[in-house]
Amino acid sequence: MKNQILINFCPTGMVPQKSITPHVPISPQEIIEQTHEAYELGITIAHLHARDEEGTPTYKKTTYRDIFEGVRKHCPKLIICGSSSGRNFSEFEKRSEVIELQPDMCSLTLSSLNFLKQASVNDPDMIIALAEKMVDNGVVPELECFDLGMINYGKYLIKTFMN
């Protein structure tokens, strides 16, 4: 990994809507196209969120499958990271569906946190359950750290799962 630059691209996220910016990709095809364009410019990782037909964030494995297949077709060397966000979905079954597709990585937010209009709830049992499912499916957790406490918890998880 010496002298390698990693560029993590997140084209959609959980918040932007077409009403906020017409440039945000919403449909699987738009996400695939924008990710491919960024891949041609040199990204190495794509952190991907899925949206339903109305443009609302979704956990649905079928939507993620369409996105992942299209991205893999056009960007064969790209590291794909799926989202297991707790911002809109609290149930383990929903949050973990994306892991079953075995992306290279999947997001793992290491604590609960508040955003302007809502919380992303990530209790320790959920974090451990998601981490275990990722490990069982050969998916590398993308440890999302928004403060020092999250880094400390990440170190604990690494020690727990790596030993």
pLDDT at 86: 75
User: How much is the pLDDT for 14?
Assistant: 87
pLDDT of res. 163? 65
> Quick one: pLDDT at residue 1?
54
Report pLDDT for 143. 94
Write down the pLDDT at residue 41. 97
| Binned average pLDDT, 10 residues per bin, the chain of 163 residues | 83 90 95 98 97 93 98 98 88 96 97 85 94 96 93 91 70
Spell out the domains of the chain, with CATH numbers in brackets.
8-162 (3.20.20.70)
Residue 25 CA to residue 18 CA, distance in Å, equals 8
- Give the CA angle between residues 59, 65, 69 to the nearest 5°: 145
Structure tokens belonging to residue 52: 């339903």
* CA separation for the pair 108, 131 (Å, rounded): 7
Residue 135 confidence (pLDDT): 93
Report the DSSP pairing between strands 79-82 and 45-48: parallel
79-82 and 105-109 strand pairing: parallel
Say whether 123 sits in a helix, a strand or coil.
coil
